[in-house]
Structure 1
Amino acid sequence: MTEPAEGHRRVLYIIVCAAGPAADVGKLVTLAHQRDWDVQIIATPSALDFIDALALETQTGRPVRSQYRKPDEPRSPRADAMIVAPATYNTLNKWANGIADTYALGLLAEAPGLGIPVVALPFVNTALAARTPLQRSIGALQAEGVRVLFGPGEFEPHDPGTGGSRFDTYPWPLALEEINLLTGQAHHPQ
């Protein structure tokens, strides 16, 4: 991992999927800004219905991206790290299986090969978590170096139909602390 140039802040891509906690992704942006990250929000097409894109654009100073840019549009800055949160069943399975049918999945498909640290913070219920495809996908992503925060002390699946009661306790700070550890920027209390 190279150090950012003088005056350049590290760039964190937050990839948002279509799950209830997505509406609160601004909490993660605030935490990232407090830790000197510039943030680029990448939303899956379905996630656009879950977030306030205008508020996030104001908060980050960057457009929310959900599609590949047109040739005449400026490029987003290169990511120094990525957090996928909330990571859905659909996104985790497609990503692990090499499907890159959205801009977000295209970025995620390339990240391990580019050496970009990635943390995924799922949001799934126990019925989906018990499925073999998801278990295989998490294992495949972990084998490629993706840090999936799933299990005791990390994200623990909820019973079907109860996800709405888990939005306020979704562990946004855990994802940021993990990406800071992976990038050598762990928080050291004074």
Structure 2
Amino acid sequence: MTAQPFLYVVVCAAGIAGDAHKLITAAQEQGWGVGVIATPQGLGFLDTEAIEDQTGYPIRSAWRSPGDPRPLPPADAIAVAPATFNTINKWAAGIADTLALGILCEAYGMGIPTVVMPYVNAAMAAHPAYGRSLDQLREMGVLVGAYEPHRPKAGGGADRFRWEEALELLEGKID
């Protein structure tokens, strides 16, 4: 009998971050254990108590102190959803200045299957660094969701963001 696979959901500071429970629910329905890692700014978008009740684990946002126990099991896969312009560009550049980015940068070297679900507006997506960063992540083997950027200053796109696509992209990617 194999152990339950464990998914890290990395949540960034985007307007739809409060809906991360949709991905958690879908993953749990497919038999995943789930732990959430939030960027420091993303933490403020989440209902911490509800997510911790749903997952059974604390949300991680900061480095743990030496000697402290690891609060989450090791990840079998990672889904970054929603992924912001900032996180995508820092990750592709190898900048690990937050726990979330450190985990993402390390995942590459550990061979952990990873999905990124961008949620950016069209003006940010037009910046040349964004396309280069997505290309870099693809070259690293990161699976990229199909979300089309929404209009700037419109606060839109939540209805088109397919949380479950992260799980679809991971199908068959873990042992």
Q: Once the two structures are superposed, what CA deviation does each residue of 1:50-99 show, in whole Å capped at 9, x if it has no partner? A: 11111100000000000111234321211000000000000000000010
Matched, 1:40 2:35: yes
Give the secondary structure class of the aligned counterpart of 2:13. coil
Q: Distance in 2 between matches of 1:169 and 1:130?
A: 19
Q: Which runs of 4+ in 1 moved over 3 A?
A: none
Instruction: Tell me the equivalent position of 2:65.
Output: 70
- Greater CA drift, 137-146 or 68-77: 68-77
Q: Distance in 1 between matches of 2:92 and 2:76?
A: 21
Instruction: Tell me the equivalent position of 1:3.
Output: none
Unaligned runs of 5+ in 1: 1-5, 185-190
Alignment of 1:8-157 (within 5 A): 8-75=3-70, 76-149=72-145, 154-157=146-149
Name the TM-score, length of structure 1 as normaliser: 0.88
Give the secondary structure class of the aligned counterpart of 1:175. helix
Name the TM-score, length of structure 2 as normaliser: 0.95
Instruction: Tell me the equivalent position of 2:170.
Output: 179
RMSD of aligned residue pairs (Cα, Å)? 1.2
Q: 8 Å contact 2:122–2:149 — kept in the other structure?
A: yes
Q: Once the two structures are superposed, what CA deviation does each residue of 1:7-36 show, in whole Å capped at 9, x if it has no partner? A: 621000000000011000001000000000
Aligned length: 174
Q: State the identity as a percent.
A: 50
Unaligned runs of 5+ in 2: none
Residue type of the partner of 2:160? T
Q: Distance in 1 between matches of 2:42 and 2:33?
A: 21
Q: 8 Å contact 2:81–2:117 — kept in the other structure?
A: yes
